[in-house]
Structure 1
């Protein structure tokens, strides 16, 4: 196979996975984001490339939409605090890096967006279980077979792929971010 053929196959595969997304779940997330109150917080968690997606989502939802007078979302990407993540990992274990940042801070009316390609990352699942105990809404961005994250989430955005297709899953998660961001931009003034 040459590179041009690979490009065509990759883009066709990405398109198939995007088209298979559950539009009802996308509508639920759009409604949730559009109806957040000023006292609600959105915490976003992910590892590796998913941590980068979490940061990007905070930029788009927490800054971009606010700056343009569209939505007033207070969003925090918990992987962005390197000092906290490394201290927690060193002192109590990597499984706690998100859970301990949420402990006694997350409230029942807040939202946790958990991003995990496998849907099985122990630190993600521990934080999601804590959020469920607190009564917060959990939005799961997953891939592969969805793992436990799909089962625990109130809103499931699942990019169904073969295990190990990180690039496709991460692409889909970023498209969802930009799809929602672009929707709120074109929707007109909200604030």
Structure 2
């Protein structure tokens, strides 16, 4: 397959996926995030490309909106502390890298945004199950068939694709971040 043909097909597939997004789920996510203001904390977790999305999301929805004095979410990406992650992974196992950071920290009505293309990453599932035991709200951000995370989520932003279509899924997950961020920027501009 030629580069041009591949590129055209990729864009077509991404466009099809974006046209299937359930906008009501995005509305539910925004309302859930807003319920945390001045009361609760938002945590975000993910591995690999999803870790980068978690960091980007915490930056946009935390610092980006706060700096503009639009909205102030108390939000942290648990993917960003490399010393903590590597110490936990080395000392007690990679499956504990998020669970250990959440243990005795996440509280009732806090929000955990768990990003996983497969929805089956052991470290994500362990953290989600613990958060649910603490009565936190789970926003799952999934791809492929959604895996276990889709079933455990209170709200699920799902990108239904064949397995291993990481690029398409991760593109759509980043677009979720930018939709939420841009919604608040646009809302603020319209209120001025």
Q: TM-score range by the shorter chain?
A: over 0.9
Q: Deviations over 1:69-105 (max 9, x none)?
A: 1110011111111111111111111000000100000
Distance in 1 (CA, whole Å) between partners of 2:24 and 2:183 is: 15
* Mapped pair 1:82 → 2:82: yes
- In the TM superposition, residue 33 of structure 1 has moved relative to its aligned partner by 2.1
- In the TM superposition, residue 18 of structure 1 has moved relative to its aligned partner by 1.3
- 2:59 is matched with which residue? 59
Structure 2 counterparts to residues 1-191 of structure 1, below 5 A? 1-188=1-188
Give the ranges of 4+ consecutive aligned residues of structure 1 lying more than 3 Å apart after TM superposition. Answer: none
Distance in 2 (CA, whole Å) between partners of 1:34 and 1:94 is: 32
Q: Which runs of 5+ in 2 are unaligned?
A: none
Secondary structure in 2 matching 1:183: helix
- In the TM superposition, residue 39 of structure 1 has moved relative to its aligned partner by 3.0
Q: Which runs of 5+ in 1 are unaligned?
A: none
Aligned residues: 190
Distance in 1 (CA, whole Å) between partners of 2:42 and 2:75 is: 5
Distance in 1 (CA, whole Å) between partners of 2:75 and 2:6 is: 37
**TM-score, length-scaled by structure 1:** 0.96
Distance in 2 (CA, whole Å) between partners of 1:48 and 1:19 is: 26
- RMSD over aligned CA atoms reads 1.2
My pick for the range that moved more, 35-44 or 102-111, is 35-44
**TM-score, length-scaled by structure 2:** 0.96
Distance in 1 (CA, whole Å) between partners of 2:156 and 2:37 is: 22
- In the TM superposition, residue 26 of structure 1 has moved relative to its aligned partner by 0.9
Distance in 1 (CA, whole Å) between partners of 2:92 and 2:36 is: 33
